[in-house]
Structure 1
């Protein structure tokens, strides 16, 4: 191994610094406090000053960790999108893209069903708060962008050709089914498992 390669490998495995760990700890605490207050009081009625006060930060310090209240709610969705994309890419090539997408969404359905009351409160807040709905839609567009290259590969088309609309159509339809299932899950108060509702939604488009 060359010196440059060895340095790169060491950098890749270098543990986070104390400062990075402290920052991650503070961010986690802010999110936990913010979500609790949002659920208890409502998103719009909860102020940044309230959150900062409970965490023990000044308003200015809080904004060094999160630019907006919406960021406190949605900060985990980028990672969720990456996990779904990785799960999708790991599915066998023998599966049809639609089935592989359904199985990739298990990442989300299983996580929600491990703490259903918390997940229901979170999804209800997303659905009832216009500013969060708008930002959530933006996040899902980024999920589409993560999924489309693998969909294109499975379809045997180029993801760079704008006339190849299949990957965009499949990813958009799959995420629309996920939204429909989540809405149904919240509406029924979790009486029907999210995974079952997602099966129904995605199955409707294959009948």
Structure 2
């Protein structure tokens, strides 16, 4: 793979992790729905967090959302496929890093995560809302994240620091990882779009 192609892949991956999946990007599309009201203002606030999850569960109960579930199953399977590849670099790089990315402010599930988890009948992990934003993430253990990758907050799964990404790019299996990852990104957007079709007023 040429240096230019690797740079383009880096930019695309960073775009996916930092722009396409920001919770704020979809808030405006659903905040008009009568079920949600103002509960989407701050997902780091306990009442908003719990209200949003409750409303999403109501929609899954009310409608036949099998399409959302089928998409989520594909996402879940893809994450499991690429997890060993990512973990091998986490073990090598993250364990010796002095600038830990895994802070409390990133350890919250967002609206999109609730869609994904609820469609698979997975209950989100309990959240400690009393941590300061710069405290270590409550899910961070001695050997890294204590949660299986397929049920971690998406803000964690979609983020790769520059050092990690550069190491990943140099590996022979990176092309396979990139193909699965970008397919998963497209599926994630499709999952959200399909769910939003049930949120029309």
TM (normalized to structure 2)? 0.27
Larger Rg: 1
What's the TM-score once normalised by structure 1's chain length?
A: 0.26
Bigger fraction of residues in helix: 1
